[in-house]
Amino acid sequence: NNNNNNNNNNNNFGFGFGLREVAPPEKSGYLFKWQDRSIGWGGTKWGLRFVRLTNGQLSYYKSHEDKSPRYILTLKNCAVRDEGSKVNKRYLKKSGSGGEGGDKNEVGGSFHVFSVYQRPIATVTTTTNNNKISNGGGDAQGDDEDKIIPLLRFSTQSLAEKTQWMTLISQSCAYCDSEEFAIQQQFKKEEEEALLRSPNKKRGTLPNLIFETPTVPLRSMPSGRNLTK
């Protein structure tokens, strides 16, 4: 029991608000990113990008060696969507005899596609029992396809990899629509504001100027003169 308690304590955010014990999911790896939604399936606008999911944010880099992301998306009011798969004809031609012997179900035989989109406001907004409007309710499967706003589209040659990404991103979307995330963001905002108001905050880059009193010159006196007490 003690070990279980220690593990739960290590997963807390530590803000003192009684937040969830399980941190939002994290994952990173390479995915093919769709670079232009206006081009059909026959286009070659898939670029390999390093994707990172952490703390409710989805970002991508040109490679894992980049220090700064090319794009960051906070997954609040977002959802993930399965967009099926597309046969990788190049792979089938290489692996099969005359292009007919390859298996599209093998890893590399198909591109498995999914997208992240912004949910319609009318769907995301729900009314609680206290007649208060809150975001994050409802099932994303019921979103109107004509009103959703696609933000990112990815593909991978592994169906298992696609399934894992979709599951973790979906969990992160739910986390960003939760009360825990709102509390965390409020705490972060208050902490930043307090830092700006802090009197000990360093300003500028020049060292402090020190003004000293001028040194009084010493005068020599005759040795036989009486000294005043």
CA distance 84 to 162: 10
Residue 1 lies in a domain: no
Residue 11 lies in a domain: no
* Residue 179, pLDDT score: 87
Q: Which amino acid is at 145?
A: E
Q: Residue 105 belongs to a domain with what CATH number?
A: 2.30.29.30
Per-residue pLDDT 10s for the chain (229 aa) are 545 444 444 443 333 444 445 678 999 999 999 886 554 555 558 899 999 999 999 999 999 999 999 999 999 999 999 999 988 777 666 665 444 555 566 666 788 999 999 988 755 444 344 433 334 444 566 777 777 778 999 999 999 999 999 999 999 999 999 888 888 888 888 888 888 887 665 555 555 666 666 666 666 555 555 545 5
pTM summary value: 0.62
Predicted confidence (pLDDT) per residue in 34-81, tens digit: 886 554 555 558 899 999 999 999 999 999 999 999 999 999 999 999
Contact 115, 153 (CB under 8 A): yes
Residue 89 lies in a domain: yes
Residue 116 lies in a domain: yes
Helix (H) or strand (E) holding 162: helix 159-176
* Residue 119, pLDDT score: 86
CA distance 139 to 137: 7
Reading across the β-sheet that carries 110-118, which strands appear in turn? 71-74, 57-61, 46-54, 27-34, 149-156, 110-118, 78-87
* Residue 137, pLDDT score: 44
* Residue 75, pLDDT score: 93
Q: Which two tokens stand for residue 37?
A: 């939604």
Residue 134 lies in a domain: yes
CA-CA distances (angstroms) from residue 102 to 57, 92, 110? 38, 5, 11
CA distance 229 to 220: 17
Residue 18 lies in a domain: no
CA distance 158 to 210: 66
* Residue 6, pLDDT score: 46
Q: How many domains would you assign to the chain?
A: 1
* Residue 132, pLDDT score: 37
* Residue 15, pLDDT score: 39
Residue 128 lies in a domain: yes
CA distance 94 to 32: 20
* Residue 111, pLDDT score: 87
* Residue 126, pLDDT score: 42
Residue 114 lies in a domain: yes
Residue ranges making up the domain that contains 163? 28-37+45-182
* Residue 142, pLDDT score: 73
